[in-house]
Amino acid sequence: MDELPIVVLPVGVDDDALDACLAALDAGTPAGSRIWLADDAQAGPRGLAIIERWLDRTSLRADYTRRNRMLGEVAHMDEVLKACGDADVVVLAPDAQVLPGWLTQLAACFARDASIATATPWCNAGEAAAWPRIGEISLLADDPERLAHAAAVMPPMHPELPAAISHAVALRGSARKRAGGLDIASYGSWYAALIDLSLRLSGLGWRNALCETAFVARNLEGSPFDGDMDALAVRWPDWHPRLASFLMTDPLRGARDRLTQLLAHIDPPQPQHELFPASSTLPQMGGE
């Protein structure tokens, strides 16, 4: 695979989550992958020290930007995505903990199906993409390498999701540009703005798919800001009923059970580097 998406990590205020997220990125992402830490004036002194120390030692091609004044979650993300141009991007939640092979699998998902505009991996707190139970928050995996290996051998069917989910989402650059930017006037949270973007992409004929061969963990589900769900209901009146129907009928139950069975029978990956391809040449971002 020639290119991997740019990884965008919005820096949050939780220093411990940031430290864990960066450690997981180092352990689970191919060396040389492009990582953009985008700080909307959120990190405090300890967070800045964590970032500085990580930048000094990481094998990833990392950039860090910080605004002098807070712009706001959606407006800042819109600014970052526009700066990425038409490159494919993966946006991580600030508390995400990626599992080995995650980025390679998301890129492979895009390569398999050109109609996929957003690809969302499994997550222990992933709402419609939650594993092992839909719509529930489960404990983080005790053996993340083994879980990653089980996911990697799942049949890559990439079924439809109601919308992309904010724990981790790959965004196809060409589709994102066609749909326009994020709606910074209507939504305060990336959580809601991502749903709105997903529904606009779907209306243009693109797909919001599950990447069942990748897994990204986190501690909690994403959440909207006050008024976001009302704004979504006005613009997309069928959204809440459709999501409720998806959660009740659980069309991904077969895939979820398959991952559970694989995890129960698969041996730990030996060696870990088999999950990763050779080093890739990635798109450049400005500022270098």
pLDDT of residue 269: 53
Residue 152 has pLDDT above 90, yes or no: yes
CA distance 221 to 30: 26
Output the pLDDT for position 276. Answer: 43
Q: Are 219 and 106 in contact (CB under 8 A)?
A: no
> Distance of CA 98 to CAs 36, 101, 244, Å?
15, 9, 28
Q: What share of the chain is helix, strand, coil (3-state, %, to 5)?
A: 40, 15, 40
CATH superfamily entry for domain 6-269: Spore Coat Polysaccharide Biosynthesis Protein SpsA; Chain A (3.90.550.10)
- The pLDDT tens digits of the residues spanning 166-184 come to 999 999 999 999 999 899 9
pLDDT tens-digit series, residues 215-264: 999 999 999 999 999 999 999 999 999 999 999 999 999 999 999 999 99
When pLDDT is cut at 50, 70 and 90, the band that residue 154 belongs to is very high
Q: 98-122, pLDDT tens digit by residue?
A: 999 999 999 999 999 999 999 999 9
Reply yes or no on whether the pLDDT at 158 is more than 80: yes
Higher pLDDT, 23 or 268: 23
Q: Tell me what pLDDT residue 140 has.
A: 82
Using a pLDDT cut of 90, give the percent of the chain over it. Answer: 89
Partners of 29 in the beta sheet?
A: none
Which amino acid, one-letter code, is at 63? Answer: D
Q: How confident is the model at residue 278 (pLDDT cuts 50, 70, 90)?
A: very low
pLDDT at 3: 84
The answer on pLDDT for 62 being more than 90 is yes
Query: Mean per-residue pLDDT for 50-70?
Result: 98
Over 50: is that where the pLDDT of 285 sits? no
- Is the pTM higher than 0.75? The answer reads yes
Rounded CA-CA distance 2/105 in Å is: 13
